[in-house]
């Protein structure tokens, strides 16, 4: 029996998101007493490919012209056979579909799927078959809420395991090459409210804009500026049009996707999350680390790491006026800000490091392979 595990990580998305960050954290942690080999398969020219191509990780790419890519399916089979893969760890729903297809062509090793969102699994025959496929040994849920939501669709609840994702605090570094205030024409004493999220429907950036409207136009606080960093998508034009309709061009500043955007969080006075659906966003962990206080919606796993009034402020989704009132109150209370940031930093260090996540994941790998810790 060997203590060296050969893990094949599957990413089938072209964008950078929580799944890709998860792969990076798992593949770069060398835990004491282990000699794991992590292999990564992703689409050619994807964000993951570009991010890792000059590194020393064992990455493989395949052209992927559409979601049901036979090239990707055949590469899964090839890599499992050539490298004698012990486990296949799947990080997104497209990769799950492709792995299930590959299982029809070859006897694959056990599959593990990471469920990173709190979305309910769609009640469709093919979808339910995919998630309940007999080759899937475990489903790692990013939060307790995600696990509870999965119970409605997963027949064997013993496969569901909650493992919080962590953040790699060793890689979090403040960036000084971009001065947000100078770049956006913001005065030194003005308040910066920041958000980092790609422009997807789940992030509900319309509420981010409406919250800014409440603060700037309704309350008349023109010295508040809202910074949003994230990949522009098909949803971006509607968001920008809303900014224009509400006359917020001077107070909302959009940066497109920036590599290592977390390094700019120390320039925020408050971090704001307006998501209508979430797993557990890295942005919250990163804000905890840089000791920036948080106001957020209470969706997905967020209430599992933020207690309203204890280490942050929470509201229900779509409540832009409530979020605005909490932002204003928090921005004017330095003592409360310090209380929140100190508690959040402690929570992060004790419970949500990527090393702790990697240790828990390794323990579950062992259970799948050998039925023990």
CATH number of the domain within which 102 lies: 3.40.50.2000
Report the distance separating Cα 48 and Cα 53, nearest Å.
8
Q: What's the pLDDT score for residue 63? A: 94
Residues 347 and 358 in one domain: no
User: Can you give the pTM of this predicted structure?
Assistant: 0.88
Report DSSP letters for 53-110, one per residue: TTSSSEEEEE--SSSS-HHHHHHHHHHHHHTT-SEEEE-SHHHHHHHHHHHTTS----
Is residue 82 in some structural domain? yes
Is residue 147 in some structural domain? yes
Closest CA to 85 of 135, 17, 13, 29: 135
Helix (H, G, I), strand (E, B) or coil at 226: strand
Residues 231 and 302 in one domain: yes
Q: Which residues contact 173 (CB under 8 A, 6 or more apart)?
A: 260, 263
Residues 151 and 200 in one domain: no
User: For 356, phi and psi rounded to 5 degrees?
Assistant: -65, -40
Is residue 1 in some structural domain? no
> What is the side-by-side strand order in the sheet with 6-10?
58-62, 37-43, 6-10, 87-90, 111-115, 136-141, 160-162
Report the sign of the C-alpha dihedral through residues 92, 96, 97, 101, in that order.
positive
Residues 110 and 180 in one domain: no
Q: How far is CA 97 from its chain centroid?
A: 21
Residues 111 and 174 in one domain: no
Q: What's the pLDDT score for residue 373? A: 45
Q: What's the pLDDT score for residue 75? A: 97
Domain that holds residue 283: 170-351
Q: What's the pLDDT score for residue 93? A: 94
Report the distance separating Cα 312 and Cα 293, nearest Å.
6
Report the sign of the C-alpha dihedral through residues 91, 96, 99, 103, in that order.
positive
Is residue 90 in some structural domain? yes
User: For 199, phi and psi rounded to 5 degrees?
Assistant: -80, 75
Report the distance separating Cα 135 and Cα 46, nearest Å.
27
Report the distance separating Cα 183 and Cα 201, nearest Å.
27
Helix (H, G, I), strand (E, B) or coil at 45: coil
Q: What's the pLDDT score for residue 265? A: 98
Q: What's the pLDDT score for residue 312? A: 97
Is residue 186 in some structural domain? yes
User: For 262, phi and psi rounded to 5 degrees?
Assistant: -60, -25
> What's the structural domain count of the chain?
2
Rounded mean pLDDT for each run of 10 residues along the chain, 373 residues in total: 79 88 83 73 93 87 92 96 96 96 94 93 93 96 95 96 91 93 95 96 97 98 97 96 98 92 97 94 96 97 96 97 98 98 96 90 91 58
**In whole angstroms, how large is the CA radius of gyration of the chain?**
21
**Strand partners of residue 244:** none
Residues 61 and 132 in one domain: yes
Residues 101 and 154 in one domain: yes
Is residue 83 in some structural domain? yes
């Amino acid at each position: 029996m060997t203590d060296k595990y050969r893990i094949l990580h599957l990413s089938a998305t072209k964008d950078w998101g929580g799944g890709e960050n998860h792969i990076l954290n798992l593949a770069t942690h060398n835990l004491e007493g282990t000699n794991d080999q992590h292999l990564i398969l992703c689409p050619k020219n994807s964000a993951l490919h570009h991010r890792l191509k000059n590194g020393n990780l064992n990455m493989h790419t395949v052209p992927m012209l559409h979601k049901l890519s036979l090239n990707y399916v055949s590469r899964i089979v090839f890599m499992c056979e050539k490298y004698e893969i012990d486990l296949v760890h799947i990080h997104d729903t497209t990769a799950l579909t492709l792995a299930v297809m590959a299982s029809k062509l070859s006897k694959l090793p056990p599959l593990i799927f990471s469920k990173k969102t709190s979305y309910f699994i769609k009640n469709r025959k093919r979808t339910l078959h995919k998630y309940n496929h007999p080759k899937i040994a475990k489903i790692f849920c990013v939060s307790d809420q995600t696990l509870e939501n999965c119970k409605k669709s997963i027949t064997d609840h013993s496969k569901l395991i909650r493992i919080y994702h962590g953040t790699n605090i060793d890689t979090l570094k403040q960036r000084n090459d971009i001065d947000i205030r100078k770049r956006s024409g913001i005065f030194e004493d003005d308040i910066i409210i920041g958000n980092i999220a790609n422009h997807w429907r789940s992030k509900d950036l319309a509420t981010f804009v409406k919250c800014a409207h409440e603060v700037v136009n309704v309350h008349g606080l023109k010295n508040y500026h809202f910074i949003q960093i994230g990949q522009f998508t098909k949803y971006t034009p509607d968001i920008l049009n809303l900014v224009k309709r509400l006359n917020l061009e001077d107070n909302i500043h959009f940066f497109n996707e920036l590599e290592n955007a977390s390094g700019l969080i120390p320039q925020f006075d408050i971090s704001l999350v307006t998501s209508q659906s979430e797993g557990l966003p890295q942005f919250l962990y990163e804000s905890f680390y840089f000791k920036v206080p948080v106001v957020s919606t209470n969706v997905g796993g967020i209430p599992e790491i933020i207690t309203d009034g204890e280490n942050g402020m929470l509201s229900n989704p779509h409540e832009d006026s409530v979020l605005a009132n909490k932002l204003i109150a928090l921005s004017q209370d330095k003592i409360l800000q310090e209380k929140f940031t100190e508690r959040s930093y402690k929570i992060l260090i004790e419970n949500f490091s990527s090393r702790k996540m990697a240790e828990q994941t390794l323990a579950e790998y062992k259970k799948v392979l050998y039925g023990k810790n």
